[in-house]
Structure 1
Amino acid sequence: MGPALGMVLLYGFQHINSYLLLLYHAAISVVGAEMFQHDRRLGQWYLVALFLPLAAVQLAFPGPQSWRALCGFSFYIIFFSVRLRRLCAIYASRLAETRDLEASVQPDSLTGLFNRAAMQNPMDRELKGAADTGRRVALLFIDLDGFKATSDTCSHRTGDLFLCKIADRLNRFAGSGLRVARRGGDEFTLLVTDVKLTISRPALLAFAESVLAAVCVPGSIEGRMCAVTASIGVGMFHDDAPNAEHLIRAADRAMYEAKRTGKRRICAFGARQLLDLHAPRKSPARRTRAP
């Protein structure tokens, strides 16, 4: 009875080991496939790291003893696979974040300026510093008037070249206290962090006027004269907005007000109303300029 029972138990034990090995192979196959999707080289090393120990166990324990060794080793491997799967998920998440960050810091492919995403981090950093020191920060939204018509009349290539010329003019204002970015299409932003420029609205008006004048200068592109104007909206941190999101909204709303009231002008977002920055100068000629 004893030997017969022992043979039955051994037979059942071997079959249990077989099921465990099948489970083990299924586990490493799933994890290995996921790792191959994220990183082919990492997936290859993963499979090598798991199959080599199995081969070593079978060589060290030939015959029926290998079943017992593989049984115990399978529990370790399955546990290791679960842990590695979690690490793989973390690795994939970090890799995606890194790629997004790399994409965000790439310059605009057409103009070479900061792109929309790359401007966000400097803006957040500047606003945090301004909140700590109590200084002002201004954001200018610059939207070109009539650029689409110019691009359609001449050619899209001419329009792109003229857009690069405008970007170069704006980039001349860049410095330690100024950052220029292209938000997309014919829209640009200019972050003003220089205390001397943002100490008051009149000082900011003078600076915005110089930006507008630079944009409105006609330029020759491949033998053709191109000209556009611009509508500029201004928002000020602390005065008009408590954070970056509200500052962007304030400048954007002011820019649309500049377009609505005649284009080729500058409007600032006030706490209670939208202010035409030309109004304090009482210059009707400027207020009625043709688009």
Structure 2
Amino acid sequence: MSKNFSLPQWQLTKWLLDSGRPISPDIERDLVASLFGTLSIFIGGVTNTLLVALLITWHVQRQEFFVWLALEVLVCAARIGILISARRRARMARSTHTDLHVILSLVWAFSVGLGTYLSITSGDWLAAALACLSSAAMVGGICFRNFGAPRMTGVMILLALGPCCLGAMVAQEPLFLLTLIQLPVYVVSMTSASFRMNAMVVATMQSERDNAHRARHDSLTGLLNRATLLAEIEMAISRARSGTARPSLLYLDLDGFKRINDVYGHGCGDELLEQVAARMREAVPKECRISRIGGDEFVILMNDHDKDGAQALARRLLIEIAAPYLLANGEEVVIGVSIGIAQVPSTVQSADAALNIADRALYVAKASGKSRFHVAEII
């Protein structure tokens, strides 16, 4: 569901949610999704601020406090409504009103700070102490809950605690003037901690994605590896058994690659494999799955193409891969490719068995003179 939370659209909210470093789109969406999570902290914060506002208003009994209490109730109700709606809409892949959610978070922080200012300037030190403790307690929740947006966190802390300084100056109480020194340091340190937490979270997310990518992909070409291919074939076989599709496999083996390795070295051979992989990505339809299963052998899984489509792709690959390659050492080399094609029958027992059918077709293509394709005869 995290991928379905909407990215911000307004310039202000885009700036607030920008972590200040380049990140991938999927991590950006996960960070946005984190702003809608940790419901226990959200509920605790809302409950605390409403109770504090209610107690202070009941204690002081002034008009401005009733207005503040009404603002707290409206803002908290709106935030709860948006949060519930956003989580529901995310499940339906609809807009989650992220911009409004961010703005309401700032308004809530402003309301917390407003209550602190009113309490300090009221002259009632019981109310002032309760309001200051409440706003300070909210900072921890703000930092922890909004680690995905450190800029927004800093602004929220400033809105929640900044009025303490303003209230101290208006109240003209000497002891309260100490906040003019304490609070700026506190705001800076907590905001800095939010940026460090964000950096750690982003680094962890990126590391997890890198590890997942390495587990599924070939380290040299970036294509799918053998284990991932077999899993993909198993899913294709399941679809074939349900009658929704009959997948095709193209098993490719490069002709003349060993000579390139022997003459120019394995470094040039690796470079050539990377160039071959790049050409395959250009030639193969996006919905197909390309894998390198070892050495100079590649397999393409086509889920939604018939036999004619597989043969058309094979003809294109014969041409594309046979075009000359320019290596980094200045040498121009030419190789070919032999291809075995097999439509995977619904009766096949496993991915390995399906792969073996295409492998046997490849053997026939090799034995027939190479640089050609052969289609396995399967009923």
TM-score, normalisation: structure 2: 0.41
Candidates 272, 278, 294, aligned match of 1:168: 278
Indicate conservation of the 8 Å contact 2:283/2:316, yes or no: no
Q: Are residues 174 and 207 of structure 1, via their aligned partners in 2, closer, same or farther at CA, if it must alter by over 3 Å?
A: closer
Q: Match of 2:250, as an amino acid?
A: L
1:209 and 2:315 aligned:
yes
Q: Alpha-carbon deviation of 1:264?
A: 0.4
Indicate conservation of the 8 Å contact 1:139/1:234, yes or no: yes
Q: Summarize deviations over 1:190-226 as a string: whole Å, max 9, x none.
A: 00112xx31xx33321121012211111110121101
Candidates 253, 264, 275, aligned match of 1:154: 264
Count of aligned residue pairs for this structure pair: 168
Candidates 187, 190, 215, aligned match of 1:105: 215
- Over the residues paired in the alignment, what is the CA RMSD in angstroms? 2.2
Bigger proportion of residues as strand: 1
Q: Match of 1:207, as an amino acid?
A: L
Q: Distance in 2 between matches of 1:245 and 1:126?
A: 13
Candidates 240, 257, 262, aligned match of 1:130: 240
Q: Distance in 2 between matches of 1:245 and 1:119?
A: 10
Q: Alpha-carbon deviation of 1:106?
A: 3.4
Q: Match of 2:256, as an amino acid?
A: G
Partner of 1:269 in structure 2? 376
Q: Are residues 130 and 104 of structure 1, via their aligned partners in 2, closer, same or farther at CA, if it must alter by over 3 Å?
A: farther
Q: Summarize deviations over 1:60-97 as a string: whole Å, max 9, x none.
A: xxxxxxxxxxxxxxxxxxxxxxxxxxxxxxxxxxxxxx
Q: Distance in 1 between matches of 2:286 and 2:213?
A: 24
Q: Match of 1:192, as an amino acid?
A: M
Q: Match of 2:230, as an amino acid?
A: Q
Segments of structure 2 that go 5 or more residues without pairing to the other structure are: 1-210
Q: Alpha-carbon deviation of 1:174?
A: 4.7
The within-5 A match list for 1:176-191 is 176-191=286-301
1:246 and 2:353 aligned:
yes
Partner of 1:260 in structure 2? 367
Indicate conservation of the 8 Å contact 2:342/2:378, yes or no: no
Answer with 207-216 or 224-233: which moved more: 207-216
Candidates 327, 330, 335, aligned match of 1:221: 327
Bigger proportion of residues as helix: 2
Indicate conservation of the 8 Å contact 1:104/1:118, yes or no: no
Partner of 1:118 in structure 2? 228
Q: Are residues 234 and 240 of structure 1, via their aligned partners in 2, closer, same or farther at CA, if it must alter by over 3 Å?
A: farther
Q: Match of 1:147, as an amino acid?
A: F
**Percent identical across equivalent pairs?**
32
Q: Alpha-carbon deviation of 1:242?
A: 5.6
Indicate conservation of the 8 Å contact 2:318/2:337, yes or no: yes
Q: Summarize deviations over 1:115-145 as a string: whole Å, max 9, x none.
A: 1111111211122122213421000100001
Partner of 2:173 in structure 1? none
Segments of structure 1 that go 5 or more residues without pairing to the other structure are: 1-100, 273-291
Indicate conservation of the 8 Å contact 2:291/2:300, yes or no: yes
